[in-house]
Copies of this chain bind each other. A is one copy, B any other.
Amino acid sequence: MAFSLDPWMAQHLQSVEQSLEGFLTLHAPAGSPWAAPEDLSQAMRYAVLDGGKRLRPLLVLAAFEAVRGAPASALDPAPMRAACAVELIHAYSLVHDDMPCMDNDVLRRGKPTVHVQFGQASALLAGDALQTLAFEVLTPLDDSVDPAVQARLCALLSRASGRVGMAGGQAIDLSSVGLALTEASLRHMHQLKTGALLQASVMMGAACGPASVATMQALEAFGQAIGLAFQVVDDVLDVTADSATLGKTAGKDADNDKPTYVSLMGLERSRAYAATLAGQAHAALQGSGLPDTSALAALAEMVVHRAH
């Protein structure tokens, strides 16, 4: 039976939104002194809900289904927790990246950025608390997720997010404004800044199910290829799309004199590179030994051919 991405996405996106909403709603016992302050909760919800492509959660769920060989269900809480945790990390990074001392951006997902809406102090705290919440979500206090899986998910997510992952890439990005990077340096920066978390999404989904070492290696290669492809396409879109389509400020990278794939290799070679990476991603899936990787393959296509 041919796989159709749209109904698969529609169903999973609904589950992801419901789960994110649930994790962002605090179920404190009535009269509990441990209530979260309302304005912090509001800023956190604003940063996460009603927006975002949810690419990372979809990758988690698709990878889980590929290794499990069956659709994810409510009986498998681990992959949905992993999916939401990755999205919370992504959301926190956007909140902090948009702040005046970083990219100083005012528009995100078609809405004012969190610091514009709530003030810088609240944006800083909301980002901090979203990062923490990701690890809360991965470690439920009931017995619903095998502790070994909890530990593995925390290990994967923390390493992809920190100094040798997303935060490290952001630091390189900051220090490279105005510099002429080599293609290798640019790729290294993006592997950390964007690639590590996309790759971790795939690995975390697979870590929720049974996967051989060979399968994990194939999915690691797949994740690396789509992680890079995502950024190449992002750089292309920054030049070719308008702000309304992107939901964020277009042309920002060029304005800020940031090195991009387009500035380094031009528009056409960047597009060709994205296609090459997509080919690498598909080859990795074919070498994975997994019987059905349709959803992962379709998501890879979406990454390369997206319009925003």
Residues in chain A within 8 A of chain B (CB atoms): 26, 28, 33-37, 39-41, 44, 92-93, 96, 99, 101-102, 119-122, 124-125, 127-129, 131-133, 135-136, 138-141, 147-148, 150-152, 154-155, 157-159, 161-165, 167-168, 170-172, 174-175, 188, 191-192
Contact = CB atoms under 8 A, between A and B. Distances in A.
Contacts of A154: 135, 138-139, 150-151, 154
Contacts of A40: 163, 167-168, 171
Contacts of A129: 162-163, 167-168, 171
A130 to B, nearest CB: 9
Contact of A125 (B28, B33, B157, B167): B167
A109 to B, nearest CB: 21
B33 A191 contact: yes
A102 B121 CA distance: 6
Given A37-B168, A129-B163, 7 more contacts: A28-B164, A34-B192, A102-B124, A122-B174, A132-B163, A136-B155, A150-B151
Contacts of A37: 163, 168, 171-172, 175
Contact of A188 (B26, B33, B102, B147): B33
Contact of A34 (B120, B127, B136, B164): B164
A167 B131 CA distance: 11
Q: Which 8 A-B pairs have the closest CB atoms?
A: A132-B162, A101-B120, A139-B155, A40-B171, A150-B151, A135-B158, A129-B167, A36-B163
Nearest to A196: B34
A158 B36 CA distance: 14
A147 B136 contact: no
Contacts of A167: 40, 125, 128-129, 132
